[in-house]
Homo-oligomer: A and B are copies of this chain.
Amino acid sequence: MEIKVLHQIMDWNEDVSDEVKSTLADHRICMINVMGSPGAGKTSLITSLIEKLRADYRVGVIEGDIAGQVDAEKIAALGIPAVQLNTDGACHIEAMSIRHILPELPLDDLDVIFVENIGNLVCPAEFRIGESLRITILSIPEGDDKVEKYPLMFTDTDCLILNKYDMMPYFDFDENRVLANYETVNPGAPLFRVSSRSGEGIGELVSFIAEQIRKAGA
């Protein structure tokens, strides 16, 4: 029974996702869905990207959280339009919520919107939200077995970021294991080694994202 219901919800979600996508295309906005475990470093990475991108592009942020508004406050403090989307217990963001919240952002004055999804390696991957680009973050402290254990998240992403890469010396993390598994489930997809704290690898990621923003704006 449960599976049947899930399919119904997901079909409906896909329709709304297409609608959101079309709204964003009208405004030539690139929307980026940022996913990863709790504590993978999603907010810090978005903050680092904003610092590098804001000179050339107009950035907005939708901060998804089960509860609270800690992250939206951090982003707003940077002078960036930010809205907080509280899911009130739900473990992922659905397209319907994005449709509701989009008018709260100044769409005519944005080139890119980062959506920080709920910290979760499972359900967010199942729900398209009208995004142009999906980014999955795996941080080094989480361990090297995550692609095997949570395959959908790594299959349905447009790129993988190995975050907190400066922590490699302190953890037993077999990078080759991750690379091999990622290549198996998502052949040829790009990978970036990044540390938001040290700034390592941010440059290449910014170039990749800027290219996606330009595509959406063309």
Residues of chain A having any CB pair with chain B under 8 Å: 1-2, 5, 9, 37-39, 65-68, 70, 89-91, 118-123, 126, 139, 141-143, 145-146, 148-152, 164, 167, 170
Task: Please judge, given known A-B contacts A149-B67, A149-B68, whether A39 and B119 are in contact too, CB under 8 Å.
Answer: no
Contact present for B37 and A89 (CB under 8 Å): no
Closest to A119 in B: B121
A19 to chain B: closest CB distance in Å? 18
Bound complex: CA A192 to CA B216 (Å)? 49
Checking B91, B121, B126 against A38 with a beta-carbon cut-off of 8 angstroms, the contacting residue is B121
Query: Looking at the complex, which one of B1, B70, B122 makes contact with A66 (CB distance below 8 Å)?
Result: B122
**Among B67, B90, B151, which residue has its beta carbon within 8 angstroms of that of A67?**
B151
A181-B46 Cα distance, complex, nearest whole Å: 25
Q: Is the CB of B149 within 8 A of A91?
A: no
Which residues of B have CB within 8 Å of A1?
Answer: 9
Please give 8 more A-B residue pairs, beta carbons under 8 A apart, in addition to A37-B37, A39-B146, A68-B149: A38-B149, A38-B150, A39-B141, A66-B152, A67-B148, A68-B148, A70-B145, A119-B150
Give Cα distance in the complex from A65 to B149, angstroms.
6
Most chain-B Cβ atoms within 10 A of its Cβ — which of A2, A65, A152? Answer: A2
Question: Nearest CB to that of A146 among chain B residues?
Answer: B38
Closest to A170 in B: B170
How far does the alpha carbon of A64 sit from the alpha carbon of B153 in the complex, in Å?
17
8 residue pairs, one from A and one from B, having the closest CB atoms? A39-B142, A141-B141, A91-B122, A39-B143, A37-B38, A38-B121, A68-B148, A91-B123
Query: Contact check: which of B66, B139, B145 meets A149 at CB < 8 Å?
Result: B66
Would you give the shortest CB distance from A185 to chain B, in whole angstroms? Answer: 10
- Pick the contact of A39: B37, B68, B122 (CB < 8 A): B37
A148 touches B70 (CB 8 A): yes
If A2-B9, A38-B121, A167-B170 touch, whether A66 touches B151 (CB-CB below 8 Å) is: yes
